[in-house]
Structure 1
């Protein structure tokens, strides 16, 4: 079987050798009855990959924000994820630019530009005999309705018509050989451009020795290489050298060999032998020298075509005009079919190759990114769970500590209250006993008061004020000496016990605050007796009183109550005499009035007796005189007068002072006994206040500790909620990484592994 038939057999619908009108339209624009283009495979892979990496980009951005909020921008994992975001954005940008690139190489005037024009179905590239293309020409698609040119030295679009001046080797404005002109052509005018295929035309590889720079600059990202040869000559060493260099830089490049201008073989008798020779040498070159394909695969990548005939046929077919007679040689349908067969094989190869070269690396990077992110989220999730567990344990410990502190503080409060109560009762007893004892010795304290005494009212008023102060200071000093030291010791001991008991409930760093809560001064009890106000109504009686006077004798023999009963006419209550003005009389006037009353009582009694029996009185008087005699009566009267005179002469200021102090002691003692309970209660209250206030201040420190524990519990609750939310988000992001990894695996199975 001939070489062309080997290729034709690959696809059904082989054409016979007939007129151009007999050629099916499937060899024309390929839009009507042709099966779905293999190039759609690349488009689907590109669309799917774009969707996946957009999802990965959203995922990485979400993970970046998550780590920024949870760990901060200085965290190493955040920096890693931020690097992933830049990497994914770069992949998305590259995917948007990714296309299927085919580069045409060959010797000068082998028909590279004509082949591209035939595939584009338009005469875009300059072509002709000799050295036509002077630089690299790249044809790519655009959504615009009009085509334009772009050159390396300018970003301004140029007209398509200027291509001959810029790219033709015959033009005086030609560019350098390693320059690139981008021909941006409307996609709607070419199916291949619409499918993201980019064509690169090159100068003849036999016009420059600088092949390495060509390869590095234009070939490293190529998916398919098309070697356009001349069917009239065998494969040259120059062409072999170039592809040896390509093979050394790329792993198993996809190479198609077009034996162009096969229409010249129409009139040759040994055409089949020549074709077989080309097959043999080209197959040996691909399999044995380059080692890029096996024998069967190499045979299917060698085509005998006429690019010129294909271009002419397609141009007239698209314009629906008849093909000029003589422009197509005999058996042209076979060559047209071979060209279409080449395009079909080319489309399959470039689509699969581009998918492998463009998306294999991206998929591997995507899987690594999702795997790394999954590890980061897994670590974050685990760390959050552990931290949440630790915080929950710490919260329970803090809550237990707070509960223990509350219970112990309640127990201690009750205990301290009982202790304070007992101590207060003891203080009250001690102060009461000491004050009563000092009242009993009040006379000694009053006797110690040594100030000049004079009965004058003005001097006596000052004397009493000083005596009040002396008694108050003396009593207070004596009671304080007897009670204060012991009380102070008890108070300090109790305060220290409070402090020690409360300190046992606090942490080490909080115990120092308890000492600050203790009073800075020693406790002292203030004994407020206020003798001046207490004895302000004291009225002394320092008038002379004869010891054997009627009133004194009645007081001695009858007592105070008996005397009042006698003076009251047998009544138990004697009204207090009133002055003529109606106001109560002073004690001095009262005593004078009592003497008058006694005298009047005696006279009245005597008168009553005598009025009842005058004779009886005379008899009694007679009997007394008879018994005692006038001398005795006179002697007794004289003695009575001498006693009166003695007492009157001995009634000096000293005697008056003794009388005054005796009266003051009696009066002050009676008044002080009235305030013993009040004073002892006041002292106990002072102790209670001191201990209660101290305990309250100490409890404030404990309350602050409780407040700190409550704040710590609130903070732990807040942190636990934050960690729970963080762990949920980390788990969600981890699961999302699994989902994206499955998407990538599905993509790999569908587009990459399927054609391995």
Structure 2
């Protein structure tokens, strides 16, 4: 037996026989749950006792990383949601759709990582001791084992945070007592489950170190009881990290066992395999035990390295162990209970087999930890790096789009600002030019209207002569006649002025309007420009001269009484003139007392002026008569003496005939001519008074029209300026939003780099390190 142990030990004291193992083995803690978590290396440093802690550390770290990734994706979703609301052009629909896919992916990975564990599957023929091996590893008799307790279905042992263990079956979520395991899993039970059924055994983690480290142990029925191995592999083995073939040391490796692992190898790339030659305690009394061990070792190495080709021959030698699971279980049970092992329960050399079992556990733990970290986390970590790379590219693209749009909008805003400044400057220049043009136009209109109105005043007699209405000296009819004459004169003068001036003035107005429009239209928007170009020249405008002769000549008082042309007053007017006659008559009238009103000494009645004229004439005549009577008689005598009384009589007769002729010809027609002549004289004098007013009124109308046109053009330009200002404000808001979005995208891009760095460090630490 010592020879058997010699091949499995690398200790300087390896040549020990059936006695106690070296002191180094006696001091070794065989995975006891109460043992220290660290062991001394003899150089002042310490390391974890169990390599399984590597998986726990990696699992915690990868879960933390994916928690960060999940938070990052949630932040990114919120970012894109806000970015779409404020700056939708930087986010495409593909990005929004991709974000939903990323959320689902990370959620799925997170759920898988939370459930991930290290899984070891034990296979072998019936009654090879698979359940006993698991019980020994768990340091408790959990699975049914012993004579006749052949496992009929799959039993999965996993850790639980509860204080007591329980069972879960596939057909129910209700926990069951551990005591039901013998009835459900044993092939001897009448209520046994199907061979491909699974019973989950939830065992308290604080009772087993393996379970605390997320190790799941799966016991299987014998591979020789069912030909349906493919379904077993697909259902239970594809996520396994380590396969343990529990063989019977009393027999050689069977083809049934080989076939199973050939199938496993065809579905999994280089599975991690261990071979346990159980029940090696039967070799204690065998003389050729060493040859048997070498034979088993050679065949197992040949199977692992040459047939399956999953490892080298040197690696295969370290994957074959000769143990007694029953002895290991008994020893550990009594050790945990603090009692001594009953005499005869353990055969000679059990310490070596116990050490071999512990050696298997150590190698198994190292292998499963490294394998589980790689198989469970490598794909997820690489997937996380790919996901973060895609998200980083998305953030980079979003950031670049924001920067590009900010540059474009900055240029566009500068163009709008330059355009607005240009409009302000051009509008000021055009305003000054237009004011000068309007001023010149107004002065020209005033000059032309004034000249035309003076010409029409000179031709007023023609307009009055054109008035053909029945004339009657009756005062009532005469008032109607004057009213119609006022209207006729006003209409005629307005028509003549319009024919003389309106065409030229309107042409000038339209020309000025078109010049203003042509000069200012380039400052407007395109659609407004075309609309305005057709609108402004077609706007109806007509100059109203507004002479208002009715009110202007309302004070006209006609004098159609008979006046002898050779009468004393007429002769005085003819020789002295109207002004001289008036002076003489006013001089004489001042020497005659005037009648006074009883109410006021200065009051003059409505007919005072007529009375004064009559009194003046009579007084003058009486004065002349009284003063020159002798002279007149003398003159008459002289003329009569010179010419003779006959000549004087003839002259008197002719004077009388002339008087009677004029008196007889003073008809309504003559009165009408006199009336019209008086009206022409009176109206001409009145119209001359309003020449400046009328010309100013017309020029003001033109000024108003041109100013209104200019105001409409300015209003359109103001609308363009307002539109530009609104666009600039809108661009400023968009640029602020883009700046915020680009800053957030840059932050998220850098955060993606940080998360990717975390993943790289995880891969470097746990997946690529040799430790």
Q: 1:724 Cα deviation (Å)?
A: 1.9
Aligned pairs, number: 750
- Number of the residue aligned with 1:310: 328
Distance in 1 between residues matched to 2:201 and 2:244, nearest whole Å:
19
Alpha-carbon distance in structure 2 between the residues aligned to 1:501 and 1:575:
75
In structure 2, the CA distance between the partners of 1:202 and 1:89, relative to structure 1 (3 Å rule), is same
How far residue 557 of structure 1 moved from its aligned partner, in angstroms, is: 2.4
SS of the residue corresponding to residue 247 of structure 1 reads helix
Residue number in structure 2 paired with 1:148 = 166
Alignment partners' CA distance in 1, 2:705 and 2:505:
12
Q: Which residue of 2 aligns with 1:597?
A: 616
Deviation digits for residues 606-650 of structure 1 (CA, Å, limit 9, x no counterpart): 54678xxx9x99977876776666555555444433333232222
Q: Give the equivalent residue in structure 1 for 2:515.
A: 497
Report the counterpart of residue 523 of structure 1 in structure 2: 541
CA–CA distance in structure 2, aligned partners of residues 574 and 270 of structure 1:
187
Q: Is the deviation greater in 110-119 or in 546-555?
A: 546-555
The CA deviation at 1:717 is 1.8
| Partner Cα distance (1:11, 1:754) in 2 | 30
Question: Take 1:506 and 1:620, find their aligned partners in 2: how far apart are those partners?
Answer: 93
Mapping for residues 111-190 of structure 1, pairs under 5 Å: 111-130=129-148, 132-190=150-208
Find the partner of 2:664 among 649, 661, 669: 649
| Corresponding residue SS for 1:205 | coil
Q: Are 1:517 and 1:694, in contact at CA under 8 Å, matched by a contact in 2?
A: no
Q: Is the partner of 1:324 in helix, strand or coil?
A: coil
Match of 1:689 among 704, 718, 726: 704
TM-aligned CA deviation for residue 469 of structure 1:
1.0
1:454-493 maps to which residues of 2 (within 5 A)? 454-493=472-511
TM-score calculated relative to the size of structure 1: 0.93
**Which residue in 2 is equivalent to 1:4?**
5
Q: 2:431 aligns with which of 413, 426, 432?
A: 413
Deviation at 1:548, TM superposition (A): 2.6
- 1:549 corresponds in structure 2 to 567
Matched-pair contact (CA < 8 Å) for 1:513–1:701: no
- 1:90 positional shift: 0.8
Q: Distance in 2 between matches of 1:259 and 1:698?
A: 105
Indicate the residue corresponding to 1:38 in structure 2.
51
Matched, 1:357 2:375: yes
Which residue in the other structure is 1:206 paired with? 224
1:26 pairs with 12, 26, 29, which one? 29
Give the structure 2 partner of residue 749 of structure 1.
764
| 1:171-570 alignment, distance < 5 Å | 171-515=189-533, 517-518=535-536, 520-569=538-587
> 1:65-105 CA distances to partner (integer Å, 9 max, x unpaired)?
33344357971122223212211111111000000000111
Shift in alpha-carbon separation, 1:714–1:28, aligned structure 2, 3 A:
closer
Query: Once the 2 structures are TM-superposed, how far is the Cα of residue 47 of structure 1 from its aligned partner?
Result: 0.4
Summarize the Cα distance change of 1:331–1:499 in structure 2 as closer, same or farther, 3 Å threshold: same
Q: What's the Cα RMSD here?
A: 2.8
Q: Is the 8 A contact 1:109 1:132 kept in 2?
A: yes
Q: Give the superposition deviation at 1:27.
A: 2.7
Gaps of 5+ in 2: 40-47
Deviates more, 1:296-305 or 1:593-602: 593-602
Local SS of the residue matching 2:125: coil
Tell me the secondary structure at the aligned position of residue 708 of structure 2: helix
Distance 1:133 1:373, change over 3 A: same
Deviations along 1:578-612, one digit per CA (max 9) or x if unpaired, are 7868765667x7456424323313433554678xx
Task: Indicate how the Cα distance of structure 1 residues 576 and 360 shifts in structure 2: closer, same or farther if over 3 A, else same.
Answer: farther
Partner of 2:731: 716
CA contact (8 A) 1:577 1:590 kept: no
Between stretches 628-637 and 162-171, larger displacement belongs to 628-637
Between stretches 647-656 and 509-518, larger displacement belongs to 509-518
Tell which deviates more after alignment, 480-489 or 68-77: 68-77
Cα separation, 1, equivalents of 2:678 and 2:4: 159
What are the Cα deviations for residues 446-468 of structure 1, in whole angstroms up to 9, with x where unaligned?
Answer: 11212111111111111111111
**Structure 1 657/526 Cα, relative in aligned 2: closer, same or farther at 3 Å?**
same
Residue 16 of structure 1, CA deviation = 8.1
